[in-house]
Chains A and B, each alone.
Chain A
Amino acid sequence: MSPEDPKPVTRAAKLLGGLVALRAAVRALRDRTPRPPEPMPESDIDPSQRTVPANRRAETLVAGLLLVAGVFGFAFTVLYIVLSGNTQLLGIALGGALCLLAAACIVAGLLVVPQETHVEDRGVLLDEEQTEEVVTMIEEGGEGISRRVLLIGAGGVAGAGLVTAAVTPLASLGPTLNSLHRQPWVRGVRLVDDTGRPYSVDDIHEGAFYTALPEHGDPDSFGSGLLVVRLPDEFLHLPADRRAWAPEGILAYSKICPHAGCAISLYRYPTYEPTSQIPAFTCPCHYSTFLPGEGGRLIFGPAGRALPQLPLMIDSDRHLRAAGPFPGDIGPSWWGVRREPA
C-alpha cells in the first residue's frame, strides 16, 4: 500500500467508528424491558371449507396458456438453430415460455382445482397414514375438472417445449469431439505474423519471442497460435528424436497452455544466464512454466503435460514452414490426452 493515499483507510475507520457510536446510542435509547407476548389472533376460518369449481372457461384459458408456453419453448430451440447469435430473441422466447407457464399455474390454482382451506398441525415427519392422506388429497385435486385430457395434453406440450429449450444450449458446450483433434498445421504451411507477413529466419532474434499463425489458416482455431523463439546451442537440449525440429535454433510451440487453455504470453530470457534463470515460457493464468530448450518440458505449475512442439523447417526463400503437424493434441489436458506424450 502506498503511503501517499491513506484517505480510504481513514474514511473506513471513521465510518466504522460512527456505526459503533450509533449502535451504542440506539441501545441506550431503546427500552430493554421485555414486552409481554401478544396473544395470537384466533383463526376465524372454518377448517372444513372446500369448494369444487366447475369452470370450463378457466380450463380453456389454462389449456391455451400452456399451449402457447409450449410454442414459446419450441420457438427457443428453433431460434437457437436458425439465428444462434440473437440473444434478445432467445431471451424473449425462454422468458415468455416461463411467464406463460407461471400464468397457467396461477389461473389453474385459483379457478380450476378445488379450493380448500386447511389448518395443518405439525406432526411426525413421514408418517405413513399422513402420506396416504396426501396421496388421496392430490388424487381428489382433479375433482370438478371436465376436460382432463385437454389439460394434461397442454401441460405435456408446455413441458416438452421447456425441456427441449433447456437441453438445446448443451450444443454450445465446447467444440465437437472431432475438432479437438483438428489442427491447421501440416507439412509445408508457412508461419506468418498477425498481419499475414511470412516470418523469415532473420526476423527471429535470440532473446525475443514472436507469435505466429498458419498462412491461410483460421487464426481463431485452437491450434493456430504459435510461440516462436530462437535459442543458442547452450540452451538447446532437445530429445534425440526432435533434434531436427529446430533448424538454426528456431523453435515453435503451441501458444495454448495444456492446463486450462490460456494463451501463453510470458517469456523469460536471461541477460546473463549464470546469475539468473534459463529461458522459459510461463502461462499468466496459473504460472505453468515450460522449457523451450527441452521440448517444452513442464518444470512448474499445474499443467498435466509438456507444451506441444511443432517441427519446423526452412525453405529455399529462408521462410519458416511447419515440417509436420503437432505430434499430439493441443490445448488443455482431458481424459487420455494427459497420458500421451505431446
Chain B
Amino acid sequence: MRWLTRRSRVPAVLRLTLAVILGAVAVVGIAAPSSSGQTPSPRVPGGAVNESNPATKSPEPPGPGDPTRSFPDSPALRAQGFNLYQAGCSSCHGIALQGTPGVAPSLRGVGAGPVDFYLSTGRMPLEQPRVQPQRNTPLYNRGKIDALIAFINSFGGPPAPTADAAKGDLGLGFHLFTLDCAGCHQSLARGGITVNAQVPDLQSATPQEIAEAVRMGPYLMPHFDATQIDQHQLDSLARYILWTRQPANLGGWGLYNIGPIPEGMVAWFIGLAALVLVARLIGERMDERV
C-alpha cells in the first residue's frame, strides 16, 4: 500500500486543479440526462395503455399455399397447457394472455410459431423480463411444449411456417444469406453484435426454428414476409445454414470461421513470433570486429 500512502511528488496546486476538474466531470456525468438516444416510450405507464398490450411486431403468416407445421391438439392437451401456462408464464404474460404493460407483450394471436421457437430453443421462460432472450437448455420437454402450443394457439393466430432443407438450393441460400442475414449473423452464421443486442450464432438452429425466426423476427430482428423470402428461398436458407455447421475450409487452420480479424491476429502474433524465433535459432550473432 506504499503507493497509496507515500507523499506525492506532484505539486499541491496541480493536484487540487486536477481534483476539481475530475469532480466537475463526475457531477456533470451523473446529473446530465442520458444522450444515448433512448427516447422514453411515448406511452404513459398505467394510464392510456392499450388494454390488450400487444406485441410491437406480430409474426408474418406463411405465404398462401406454403407448407405449414401442425402441432398436436386436443382438449386434454390444452388443459395441460393451461396448467403449465399458469405456473410458468402467467406472472409476466398475464392470466388471460393479455401481457403486463412495460414487462411482457400479449400472446393473443401470436399463433404456434413463436411459442414453439421461444420454448424449444430455451429462450423462454426468462429469468428477468428485461434481458435479451438467449438460446438455453429448454425448460420443457417436447410434450409440454406441445401442450403450451395447443393452449396458446387456441387464442388464434397464423399457422406456424416450416422449412425443408432438402428442397433448398445451397447456392441460392448462400446468396440470400449474404444479402439478408450476414449483416448481423456473419456470413458463416457465427453471430456477432448489433448496437444494444447480441446476435446469436446459428450453429444449432434447426430448419423449423429458422423458418419460425424468419417469419416472426425474434427480439430485434426484422421479420420477412412471403413476398420478400418465398418458401423455396426459405428452404435454401435453411440448407445453407445447416451447411455452415461444417463449412468447406480451403485448407489450413479455419479459426472457427469467425472472420478476417482473428486471422490477421494469428498472422501477426503467432506467425510473426514463429518467424522471429526461427530467425533467432538459425541466425548467428556477429563477433565484434574492430
Asked whether B253 is an interface residue with its Cβ less than 8 Å from the other chain, the reply is: yes
Asked whether A2 is an interface residue with its Cβ less than 8 Å from the other chain, the reply is: yes
Instruction: Assess the B217–A269 pair: CB atoms within 8 A.
Output: yes
Chain A residues with CB below 8 A from B227, complex form: 203
Instruction: Assess the A289–B222 pair: CB atoms within 8 A.
Output: no
Instruction: Assess the B222–A274 pair: CB atoms within 8 A.
Output: no
Question: Which candidate, B3-11, B14-22, B35-43, B82-90, is the interface stretch facing chain A?
Answer: B35-43
B116 to chain A, nearest CB (A): 15
Chain B CB count within 10 A is highest, among A12, A270, A294, for A270
Question: Which candidate, A41-49, A176-184, A207-215, is the interface stretch facing chain B?
Answer: A207-215
Contacts A234-B43, A274-B101, A278-B39; is A268 near B290 (CB within 8 Å)? no
Given contacts A275-B104, A284-B184, A291-B37, 19 further A-B contacts (CB under 8 A): A23-B280, A34-B287, A35-B287, A206-B57, A207-B217, A207-B222, A208-B60, A208-B222, A234-B41, A268-B195, A269-B223, A270-B220, A271-B55, A271-B218, A272-B105, A275-B130, A276-B219, A276-B220, A277-B220
Where chain B touches its partner, the secondary structure class is: loop
- The closest CB in chain A to the CB of B118 belongs to A271
Asked whether B156 is an interface residue with its Cβ less than 8 Å from the other chain, the reply is: no
**CA A328 – CA B265 in complex, angstroms?**
41
Contacts A23-B281, A266-B184, A284-B183; is A274 near B219 (CB within 8 Å)? no
Chain A residues with CB below 8 A from B217, complex form: 207-208, 269, 271
CB pairs A–B below 8 angstroms (5 shown):
A19-B278, A37-B287, A209-B222, A287-B195, A289-B195
CB contacts under 8 Å to A, within B168-188, are 183-184
Contacts A37-B289, A205-B225, A234-B43; is A272 near B55 (CB within 8 Å)? yes
Asked whether A254 is an interface residue with its Cβ less than 8 Å from the other chain, the reply is: no
Where chain A touches its partner, the secondary structure class is: mixed
Chain B residues with CB below 8 A from A35, complex form: 287
Chain B residues with CB below 8 A from A273, complex form: 41, 56
B247 to chain A, nearest CB (A): 13
CB contacts under 8 Å to A, within B86-131, are 101-105, 129-130
Instruction: Assess the B56–A270 pair: CB atoms within 8 A.
Output: yes
Asked whether A164 is an interface residue with its Cβ less than 8 Å from the other chain, the reply is: no
Instruction: Assess the B228–A210 pair: CB atoms within 8 A.
Output: yes
Instruction: Assess the A271–B222 pair: CB atoms within 8 A.
Output: no
Instruction: Assess the A268–B222 pair: CB atoms within 8 A.
Output: yes
Instruction: Assess the A275–B287 pair: CB atoms within 8 A.
Output: no
Partner of A282, one of B194, B218, B274: B194
Chain A residues with CB below 8 A from B56, complex form: 207, 232, 269-273
Chain B residues with CB below 8 A from A2, complex form: 256
Chain B CB count within 10 A is highest, among A1, A232, A276, for A276
Chain A residues with CB below 8 A from B196, complex form: 268, 276-277
**CA A184 – CA B103 in complex, angstroms?**
45
CB contacts under 8 Å to B, within A45-73, are none
B258 to chain A, nearest CB (A): 9
Instruction: Assess the A266–B183 pair: CB atoms within 8 A.
Output: yes
**CA A274 – CA B41 in complex, angstroms?**
7
**CA A291 – CA B38 in complex, angstroms?**
10
